[in-house]
Amino acid sequence: MAEHLDRMDGGTGTGTDRVKRGMAEQLKGGVIMDVVTPEQARIAEDAGAVAVMALERVPADIRAQGGIARMSDPDMVQGIIDAVSIPVMAKARIGHFVEAQVLQSLGVDYIDESEVLTPADEAHHIDKHAFTVPFVCGATDLGEALRRISEGAAMIRSKGEAGTGNVVEATRHMRALRAGIRRLATLDETELFVAAKELRAPHDLVTEVARLGKLPVVLFTAGGIATPADAAMMMQLGAEGVFVGSGIFKSGDPAQRAAAIVQATTFHDDPDVIAKVSRGLGEPMVGIDVATLPESERYATRGW
Amino acid sequence: MSTGPTRPVVGVLALQGDVREHVAALQAGGAEARQVRRPEELAAVDGIVLPGGESTTMAKLAARWGLLEPLRDAVRAGLPAYGSCAGMILLADRLLDAPPGQETVGGLDVTVRRNAFGRQVDSFETRVELDGLAGGPLHAVFIRAPWVEEAGPGVQVLGRVVGGPADGRIVAVRQGDVVATSFHPELTGDRRVHALFVDIVRRHLADAERGEP
């Protein structure tokens, strides 16, 4: 259980693995909401969000407007930091280590190295060990998750397909992650060497997952969650918490929907509660059928 | 309800946060641990742990699902309670740097400052000496942690930060059968704080059986 934590060396100071991963442990069972203004951040905090993700445009708008999506304006991130007392996360482009340096200097609590922004490097992700601030990264399967952890990610989320309001890709990724973990647990020592090669992941991490039966960091879900039932389904599929992007502030009644998703995440195994909080929420975000998206418009294929 | 004084039933408030780590630590510390999300589950435990997490989220969920008043009543009536980090905030009678209207369970006559050590980049690990805890200093993990700004006369200060910019700040307290730490013993392999709390629960049960307060 806390075995993976016990084994970490008893280092002291800031920016240790335990402090970075431990921060994500505190977010478990909670909902992290995309916000673009201080007002939205306050609505999210008031609805019971465990953290907010500060960004300039929600993924649905990035999709609609096109162009290069970058780190948000520091003034905008600062405005949100000043508006709420809960943790504030922000996104950097894949591989853009200077955007990450800027976000760390602003005092954000977690950086999302995110495929929702336009990648800045086609070969390298950020060396996340080099930072004091912790990172969350997206993954579509176990190998990708372990490559991000080996680069220093202290939290993993499914990629899903952001900005679609369609949960189908998040489901695929959560199932793939879980199946990958389950499979490792059935292998013997010799087979784990081959598994590491197939997963293109470090052997020590592969062995650790096989022994723990879970990732050594917290696993959230993201990408297309739009309703309380979506959130609860992801939790039942093994997510330890939920990111909601466009699903809240692109809906008819954001405050009520935000609170409903928070409650459905906590009581994810209680259909009576989910039924109760799902009533009268108004219009959900419109959404996009992922099958109609051309390959070039799929964010989940960004990163490797 | 209880399985007897040797292996007490200790609940972990399971609305949000590092519930699983507390459950594991309590079991290792000699308790039967159970998750508590509803008033009837609270009524069936001999002690309660308020875990680390986001205190504003837990307070709102507790209020929304009718758990806040039963928690207040239970702690006021003497139910042993332990809170780490967000749990310390929830057990405080008074808060600083909280959003307007943030409610608490209360039970500790202290003023707690939220996020007192700073943001996540300031989160740290260090060693802390705890009064009455044998075996040397604890390895303590502080994550966007609160501290106790002021403690009332009935509150026993168990530990303070030594050195650094927060030198002397109070990070562990006890008042009767209510204990709180700014840091997260559940994130380390050291089970002494949880064992101490399970022992408090055990004594509380034994006293109740003898009809003492």
User: B165 and chain A: CB distance < 8 Å anywhere?
Assistant: no
Give residue-wise pLDDT tens across range B193-204.
Answer: 999 999 999 999
Q: What is the mean pLDDT of residues B26-43?
A: 97
User: Residue B53's CB: how many other CB atoms inside 10 A?
Assistant: 28
**A18 → closest Cβ in B61, B125, B144:** B125
**pLDDT per residue over A16-55, tens digit each?**
999 999 999 999 999 999 999 999 999 999 999 999 999 9
Whether residues A48 and B97 touch (CB distance < 8 A) is answered with no
Element (H, E) at B178: strand B178-181
State the pLDDT confidence band at B213, using cuts at 50, 70 and 90. Answer: low
Q: What is the DSSP string of A234-250?
A: HHHTT-SSEEESHHHHT
Q: Give the per-residue pLDDT at A4.
A: 44
Q: What is the pLDDT of residue B149?
A: 98
Query: Are B53 and A19 an interchain contact pair (Cβ–Cβ within 8 Å)?
Result: no
pLDDT band at residue A64, thresholds of 50, 70 and 90? confident
What pLDDT does A282 receive?
Answer: 85
Query: Is B4 a residue whose pLDDT tops 60?
Result: no
Q: Where are the beta strands (DSSP E) in chain A?
A: 13-14, 31-35, 51-54, 88-93, 110-114, 135-139, 155-158, 218-220, 242-244
The mean pLDDT of chain B is 95
**CA–CA gap between residue B18 and residue B15 (Å, rounded):** 10
Going by C-beta distance under 8 Å and a sequence separation of 6 or more, which residues neighbour residue A198? A143
What are B55-82's pLDDT values in tens digits?
999 999 999 999 999 999 999 999 999 9
Pairing of strands B108-113, B147-151: antiparallel
Give the pLDDT confidence score for residue B163 in this predicted structure: 86
Residue A126 zone, left/alpha/beta (φ > 0; ψ -120 to 50; rest):
beta
Q: Do A15 and B114 touch (CB under 8 A)?
A: no
Compare CB distances from B18 to A6, A25, A259 and report the shortest one's residue: A25
Q: Give the chain B residue nearest A270 (alpha carbons).
A: B37
Q: What is the DSSP letter of B213?
A: -
B99 touching chain A per CB within 8 A: yes
Amino acid at B24: A
Q: Would you list the DSSP string of B84-97? A: ETHHHHHHEEEEES
Mean pLDDT score across all residues of chain A: 93
Residue in chain A nearest B120 by alpha carbon? A109
Give kind and range of the element (H or E) at residue A268: none
pLDDT confidence tier of residue B1, bands split at 50, 70 and 90: very low
Tokens coding A55: 């960004």
Tell me if residue B133 falls in helix, strand or coil: coil
Listed by number, the residues of chain B in 190-209 with a beta carbon closer than 8 Å to a beta carbon of chain A are none
A6: pLDDT strictly greater than 90: no
Q: How many CA atoms lie within 13 A of A134 on its CB side?
A: 31
Burial of A207 (0-12, 13-18, 19+ CB in 10 A): middle
- Say yes or no: B52 contacts chain A, CB-CB below 8 A: yes
pLDDT band at A147; cut points 50, 70, 90: very high
How many Cα neighbours within 13 Å face the side chain of A286?
Answer: 4
Chain A residues in contact with B15 by the CB 8 A cut-off are 29, 266
Report pLDDT for B44.
Answer: 97
Checking if the pLDDT of A287 tops 80, the result is no
pLDDT at residue number A185: 94
Catalytic center residues of B: 85, 184, 186
Contact B125 A15 (CB under 8 A): no
Interface residue of B123, B128, B190 to substitute, partner A, most A CBs within 10 Å: B123
Q: What is the mean pLDDT of residues B114-118?
A: 96
In this predicted complex, what is the ipTM? 0.95
Mean pLDDT check: name the lowest of A125-139, B39-53, B125-139.
Answer: B125-139
According to the model, what pLDDT value does residue A10 have? 56
Task: Give me the mean pLDDT over the B75-102 stretch.
Answer: 97
Structure-block tokens of residue A262: 């928070």
pLDDT above 70 for B5 = no
Residue of A85, A107, A259 with shortest CB distance to B114: A85
Q: Return the percentage of chain B with pLDDT > 70, whole number.
A: 97
> Cβ–Cβ of A51/B86 closer than 8 Å?
no
**A91 catalytic per annotation:** yes
Q: Would you say residue A9 has pLDDT above 60?
A: no
Q: Does B34 touch chain A (CB under 8 A)?
A: no
Q: How do residues A175-224 score in pLDDT, each as one tens digit?
A: 999 999 999 999 999 999 999 999 999 999 999 999 999 999 999 999 99
Amino acid at B46: D
Contact A86/A60 with Cβ under 8 angstroms?
no
What confidence tier does B178 reach under pLDDT thresholds 50, 70, 90?
Answer: very high
Q: What is the mean pLDDT of residues B74-96?
A: 98
